[in-house]
Amino acid sequence: MQVDLSTTIAGVQLDSYLMNASGPKCTTWDELEIVAQSASAAVVTKSCTIEFREGNPEPRYSDLPLGSIPSMGLPNLGYKAYLEMVPKLKALGKPVVVSISGFSIEDNIEMVSAFQKSDVDLIEVNFSCPNIPGKAQVAYDFEQVECALKALTVLGDKPIGIKLAPYFDMSHFIAMANILKKFPVKFITCVNSIGNTLIIDPVTESPIIKPKGGFGGLCGDYIKPIGLANVRAFRELLTDDIQIIGVGGIKNGVDAFEYLLAGADAVQIATCFEKEGANCFERIENELAAFMANKGYKKLSDAKGKLKPL
């Protein structure tokens, strides 16, 4: 049985439920070209800043048995480089999602304004990078979120979404949902890595990464239950005109299906892409289609958001 895995985010047609997440292997033109030539439904760029950034000192990434711990520090080419790439990226035939991560509302206004005048399909504003020394995550400051959205959502007609930090308390889900509903935010992406986790090597008696004394973002299988909970909570609190992209620990078709049940309109893949490479998109897509076919589901809407309570 043929299963239709196509979806839309903010009116942008996606041929598949899966795309890359901003983070791994999406910084340079060569990396973005590989994403475009894969089965990823869109090309998502690295979160860009006003200026070029080297990022944090090495070692700043380590594989773990069930995921990874990075503290990259937003290495990127600077937003003007990605702005110049947009026409070439669009020519590769897939929707382009630019991720931006300014260090102030003014930074984000400058970048969103520039990309509003470009041919990008979606603008994802990253409010949740946990790995910049001395910089707080905007997503945990609800007053700052509201100020930023007030400024950013009036800059043009291209759909804007925000990438959120993981929340753990129901009061935080409710507070954020109430803010989102005040503005024309078209989608949220949740979750980013869990910030400020620590992995210690007992042999060397040291952390396994260098930045911030070893504190980094936890990714992969470890965070899937948190990603699922965030998607589910926001799906229940938000109206359907704010769509949800789920992220966190998706490495096979069943993982993707769980996010579908929780209510995600699409998913992004980070750690699995980092470890396995671009072939992961086609493999996971095939696994998802096969799993759904075995259940008799023909399209995403047959299962989306239909988690069955006990």
Rounded Cα–Cα distance for residues 58 and 209 (Å): 7
Catalytic residue among 26, 48, 129, 219: 129
Q: How does DSSP assign the chain, residue by residue?
A: ---B--EEETTEEESSSEEEPSSTT-SSHHHHHHHHHSS-SSEEPPPB-SS-B--SPSS-EEEETTEEEE-----B--HHHHHHHHHHHHHTTS-EEEEE--SSHHHHHHHHHHHHTS--SEEEEE-----STT---GGG-HHHHHHHHHHHTTS-SS-EEEEPPP--SHHHHHHHHHHHTTTT--EEEE---EEEEE-EETTTTEESS-GGGGEEEEEEGGGHHHHHHHHHHHHHHS-TTSEEEEESS--SHHHHHHHHHHT-SEEEE-HHHHHH-THHHHHHHHHHHHHHHHHT--BGGGTTT-PPP-
Active site residue 129: yes
Q: Which residues of 255-276 are buried (b: 16+ CB within 10 A; e: fewer)?
A: bbbbbbbbbbbbbbbbbbbbee
Which has the closest alpha carbon to 124: 186, 37, 217, 73? 186
Q: Looking at the annotation, which residues are catalytic?
A: 129
